[in-house]
Amino acid sequence: MRAKEFRGIRPDDPHGRTGLRNPERGFRTEIYFSTIPGETAGTCSCHSKQNKLDGRALKPSCQNEELTGCPRLMRGNRLDAVEFSHAQWQDELDYFTYDGVTVMQSYCFLMNYCDGRPLSQQKLDDIESFFRKLRESGAKALLRFAYELYPTPAGPSAETVLNHIAQLRPLLRRYQDVIYVLQCGFVGRFGEFHHSFHHLEEDAGFCRELLAAVLEALPEGRNTMLRYPRLKRALFGNAPLSESEAFSGTARARIGHFNDYFMENNNHGGTFGMDNLSLEEEFRYLDGESRYLPMDGELQWRDLAGVALPHEALLNFHRWHYDTFSMVHGHSLFEQDFYPIDWWKSVPVDPMFLHDNRIPVSDGYFFDAAGRFVPRSHFEFIRDHLGYRLELRSARLPESVRPGGKLEAEIRLVNRGFSAPVNARPVLLVLKCGACCHSFRFQTDIRRWYGNSTEQVLNLSATLPPDTLPGVYQAGFALPDASETLANNPDFAIRCANFLTFRDGVNWLDMEITVHADAEALRGE
């Protein structure tokens, strides 16, 4: 057996200062889609922005630099009857390549159907076209449907909502590959379960029906999220999800959380502590829940964004295992003034603060090849550790093997992110020689690769196919998307946080395995 150790990516390495472009994690943008002609969605003061990147030809050389003379960034689409444009949000994705953005919170408003009419075929076709464009763009949707803005002139009945979910079910199942999570919206302003026209959020029986309908519409491997933890606790009790029930497919094991008032005040704008539990009790509930479930959030808009001090925000991201977070709220690139995310970009993070609070960080994250300290901002650290951050530690592979022979391997890695990957995917050892390529699957569940420097030891014992051609094979480690449609698309594969070649969706280990033509040659070594 041959062994090799790997180091984490340093700031002076290629991509060492950029956000690794990894799927289903990280900072996210926000768009509105399927606002087709004649289907006026409505207006809201906090969304009265232009809908494209007018005049923004420059790209940032460093995320912490401000560009003078450039207009603010825009949201992917307005809610004022502007026809959906793929080019608009593709521009936004391209702009944020530096930060590795791959997730878009994608709002689809259904306010023209509050009267009970079925969703039109044109509407369903338009939604489908959006999902198809996602496959081309290398992005996934944090999906939310909603009926109401502010003010609310009308709202759907419970029956209307359930009927529309039934209509959406075939699309949700057909395009599950590009749906990261479907947030359980539908009720209240922006689908946030407050101030609905018919007070649906106060109907416990309907809430139970709604969650059941959403989970049934999704394939078994996909999750939903609720705006308020108390809604989930009302259905399942105050005990958080246990590790034994996690990923079991039960309803409780598929309902995560999103916080749309992150750090607005001590109870996060009413997100927490509004019923029979104290704030700290509900915080502890979320501690346990978020370890096994998707967690998303956003600041409020403009001066409503609250203080959200950099170090306190970082502590919250770590404590509650955030996977994704909006970068369009509380950010001068989208708004007029200096807001919390701008503070996060401006304030360096102290490595001793991370150490004292037991927040994991790679040995090389703050130091270049010469051992010089490299300052990193809070924004940069949060960006790099939202969700998972997988770092290979070592690999043990055989130097040679014969066709039909036994192949054994060991991979060690550590997850330094705030949480584990949300959706299951295969974990593969790849052997490639010219056009000949073989993959071997490790028996592991990537969703249990919990964050906070959890180390994984992966062992493989497999048989090399008898028809394997002799030659020198390059060895790689791959984590492709689980779906057939995206499995061979490198945009949806996971890149490890190492100084390694990442090509064709594979982390190449710079290790070789020789496949001999016959057993005699193998014995002669």
Q: For the segment 72-107, what is each residue's pLDDT rounded down to a tens digit?
A: 444 444 444 444 456 667 777 888 889 999 999 999
Among residues 141, 150, 188, 195, which one has the least CA distance to residue 168?
141
Q: Which residues of the chain fall below pLDDT 70? A: 35-88, 151-152, 302-306, 335-336, 518-525
* Number of separate domains in the chain: 2
CA distances from 89 to 30, 43, 76, 131 (A): 9, 19, 5, 13
DSSP string, 169-219: HHHHHHTGGGEEEEE---SSBTTSSSS-TT-GGG-HHHHHHHHHHHHHHS-
| Final residue before a domain boundary, out of 297, 323, 349 | 349
One domain for residues 38 and 141: yes
Q: In this predicted structure, what is the pLDDT of residue 159? A: 97
Last residue of a domain, one of 286, 317, 349: 349
Q: 359: which residues sit within 8 A by CB, 6+ positions away? A: 314, 318, 353
> Does residue 398 sit within a domain?
yes
Q: Is 324 within a domain?
A: yes
* 287, 198: one domain: yes
Q: Is residue 364 part of a domain?
A: no
Phi and psi dihedrals of 467, rounded to 5? Answer: -90, 15
DSSP annotation of 488 reads T
Rg of the chain's alpha carbons, rounded to an integer?
24
Rounded CA-CA distance 422/21 in Å is 16
Closest alpha carbon to 193 in 144, 159, 236: 144
| Burial (0-12, 13-18, 19+ Cβ within 10 Å), 238 | middle
Q: At 187, phi and psi to the nearest 5? A: -110, 130
Name the token pair of 407: 């192949």
CA angle 182, 168, 297 (to 5 degrees): 15
Alpha carbon 273 to its chain centroid, in Å, reads: 27
Residue 47 makes CB contacts below 8 A (sequence gap 6+) with 75, 78, 79
Q: CA-to-CA distance for 234 and 207, rounded, in angstroms?
A: 10
The reported pLDDT for the residue numbered 307 is 72
In a domain, 382, yes or no: no
Among candidates 177, 173, 137, 131, which has minimal Cα distance to 34?
A: 131
Residue 481 sits in the same domain as residue 419: yes
Give which of 484, 497, 481 is closest to 423, Cα–Cα: 481
Residue 384 lies in a domain: no
**Strand, helix or coil at 129?**
helix
Same domain, 395 and 338: no
> CA 96, CA 166: separation in Å to the nearest integer?
35
Pairing mode, strands 506-515 and 471-478: antiparallel
CATH number at residue 456: 2.60.40.10
Task: Report d(CA 307, CA 299) in Å as an integer.
Answer: 10
Burial grade of 420 (CB within 10 A; 0-12, 13-18, 19 or more): buried
Question: Do residue 179 and residue 322 come from a single domain?
Answer: yes
Picking from 318, 349, 380, the residue at the C-terminal end of a domain is: 349
Distance separating alpha carbons of residues 92 and 73, to the nearest angstrom: 8
217 in the same domain as 160: yes
Both 406 and 337 in one domain: the answer is: no
**Residues 301 and 407 grouped into a single domain:** no
Q: Which residue has the tokens 């390059």?
A: 474
Using one digit for the tens of pLDDT, what is the confidence trace for 183-223?
999 999 889 998 888 899 989 999 999 999 999 999 988 99
Question: Do the domain assignments include residue 367?
Answer: no
Give the HSE-up count for residue 522: Cα atoms under 13 Å, Cβ half-sphere.
18
Is there a single domain that holds both residue 279 and residue 179?
A: yes
Domain that holds residue 151: 27-64+71-349
Three-class SS state of 154:
coil
Name the one residue in this structure whose structure tokens are 């809604």: 231
110 within domain boundaries? yes
pTM confidence score: 0.90
Contacts of 524 (CB under 8 A, 6+ apart): none
Sheet containing 2-5: which strands, arranged edge to edge?
Answer: 2-5, 390-397, 406-415, 454-463
CA angle 148, 150, 156 (to 5 degrees): 20
In this predicted structure, what is the pLDDT of residue 308? Answer: 85
Q: Are residues 305 and 163 in the same domain?
A: yes
Q: Say yes or no: 312 and 401 in one domain.
A: no
Report if residue 424 sits inside a domain. Answer: yes
Q: What is the pLDDT of residue 44?
A: 39
Q: What is the CATH number of the domain that holds 271?
A: 3.20.20
Q: Are residues 206 and 319 in the same domain?
A: yes
**Distance separating alpha carbons of residues 24 and 142, to the nearest angstrom:** 9
